[in-house]
Structure 1
């Protein structure tokens, strides 16, 4: 009689299991190590490009110091704020992202990098608010806030902008600390209500002012397209404001969400907290790109600045030209007014010729 027994011992004896956790941990470790390399490289490239662009800009301003204008004053302060951001903030953040320089994230450097980051942002938005408000007055009300007759007013405005930016950055200086987490040092914020208050004063209010001024200017452009489209100042200011919001808006929205979450005292869920921290890091890096884009915007929008840069790179003699930036700050007569004055002069000349013929 044939035996029908089946030997299953060999089938069940191989009880080897695959450790998926180890595989996931290995992939996570690779992703983390990749960020340790990629982010510092991006910061380094950003710093080099920004320093080259702003260095050329400052060199042109130094060559033009004999024929200083109101626009040069604001451009100089904006460029100085960008250089401070690139030199102070980005090296510290690159060291933090690389996880290889804990001593670089000491209390002083951590606080200074956070404060300089905010000072750059506040200076940028306040300076643009001053320039946009002057453009609004010249386009809508045919008057100007800054003029060559009152050069001190532009200097006082820039000093007030710096003072206001420094005051608003006190919260970051005080509440930013170097904290050790999982045997790694990171710069973190330890406040919530103060951040929301100074962020409202430093971002929401000037942002609303910028939006209102630019909206009125755009409405006037639509109504009087023939006269106002010739104003190069408007065509330069509006892209500057648009790129500023494009670079800084994601960071500010993420910051507001993180602040509201902290104020509401919601439980810190690991995934949500990690996502917000990652979003803050990425959006802040995206905001710092603005320091690199501003010289490129001047190069693309301002023809006279482009000529000066080409002459400087060729080591050619720099010819004195008019406004490099074409922002319209400090220019007494607008193109639309020049057109009206020219028509009146032509009418007067024709009238005088008719009288002489009679």
Structure 2
């Protein structure tokens, strides 16, 4: 007796299951876990080193407050911008952790977003002022800042802060605490009626805040180096090559990856490529990592001063030992209004020799 076997029901079921939407791969979980550990760790390391370094810098400047030079004015403005950025790092570290979100107020989100960009704008524009002064004094023998024009440096720093605040207007408007992927995050949220604002703010950041200052800095540094190569100004060459160039190079090494990633994000958001599976997720991770690297310059700048500037190193050691040391004329050797004309230096040398002779004669008479 033969029993018929029907296999139609076995092959009729033709349902498919989408594993991509409901399954999290182990590699993705490991990557997400490492990201939520390494990025907060990076922020806290930068916070500790930055507060210690900038605290020592402010302590040294406090001892020299009665005789601040123009270089001191630029350095203290850079220091204030760095301290403001460091104060926001705990909030970004808390948001980057795996089980936490932006659990602070919306106004604090606007402040943190604006301070991040203010620090970048102030850093590149103040370095531009220093390099422009070196360019004019070495290449064109015309000083932009001098002790007789001390008010001009304050006006320049004030204009830098005002311009930085203007460029961060989109951050004050569109940086809000919004819910994304079941978590509240501090991010820029542009409404449908203001989509052009995102493109305008990004173009301002790329052109006014990055590309144009970068081109100006590269041009000034190149012209100064070419001029110093064919001149006998050994002290100016040593100062520029040993102090100013490392400051500019470290700033761009820290901020260049973030700005390049931001440019890629701007291009992708404007083109809206449909074939990319998850362009926003990968770019958000890249922006998070590179922004953490950009914040590193706030703790590296005091270390550069300590390594490159001998007078600052002496003053720092004196502060740590609670000793009294006469403040030097130039702590930073940036060359901003620190050179003395050759005729005045010659007269000063002769005057010093005459005074030493008079002192020797007076001791012999005594």
Superposition TM-score tier, normalisation by shorter sequence: 0.7 to 0.9
Take 2:247 and 2:109, find their aligned partners in 1: how far apart are those partners? 30
Q: Name the counterpart of 1:193.
A: 199
Specify the SS of the correspondent of 1:114: helix
Offset of 1:64 from its aligned partner? 0.4
Contact 2:63/2:327 (CA < 8 Å) preserved in 1?
no
Q: Secondary structure at the match of 1:333?
A: coil
**67 and 342 in structure 1: CA distance in 2 versus 1, 3 angstrom threshold:** closer
Query: Structure 2: 5+ residue runs without aligned partners?
Result: 1-18, 191-196, 351-366
TM-score between the two structures when normalised by the length of structure 2 = 0.82
Report the RMSD for the aligned CA atoms in angstroms: 2.4
SS in 2 for 1:283: helix
Deviation at 1:101, TM superposition (A): 3.9
Where in structure 1 are there 5+ consecutive unaligned residues?
Answer: 1-19, 347-358
Q: Residue 28 of structure 2 corresponds to which residue in structure 1? A: 28
Name which of structure 1's ranges 196-205 and 123-132 shifts more when overlaid on structure 2.
196-205
How far off its partner does 1:250 sit? Answer: 0.8
User: Per-residue CA shift, 1:310-332, capped at 9, x if unaligned?
Assistant: 11111111222220011111225
Q: Which position in structure 1 is the counterpart of 2:310?
A: 303
Q: Where in structure 2 are the equivalents of 1:1-358 lying within 5 Å? A: 25-88=25-88, 90-189=89-188, 190=190, 192-199=198-205, 200-224=207-231, 226-228=232-234, 230-235=236-241, 236-267=243-274, 269-333=276-340, 337=342
Q: Residues 172, 306 of structure 1: CA spacing in aligned structure 2 closer, same or farther, 3 A cutoff?
A: same
Inter-CA distance 229–152: structure 2 relative to 1 (3 Å threshold):
closer
Matched position secondary structure for 2:35: helix
How many residues are aligned here? 321
Does the aligned pair in 2 maintain the 1:195–1:259 contact within 8 Å? no
Query: More deviation in 250-259 or 97-106?
Result: 97-106
What displacement does 1:79 show? Answer: 0.2
Deviation per residue, 1:124-145 (Å, 9 max, x gap): 0000000000000111011211
Structure 1 residue 266: deviation in Å? Answer: 2.9
Give the 3-state SS of the residue equivalent to 1:180 in structure 2.
strand
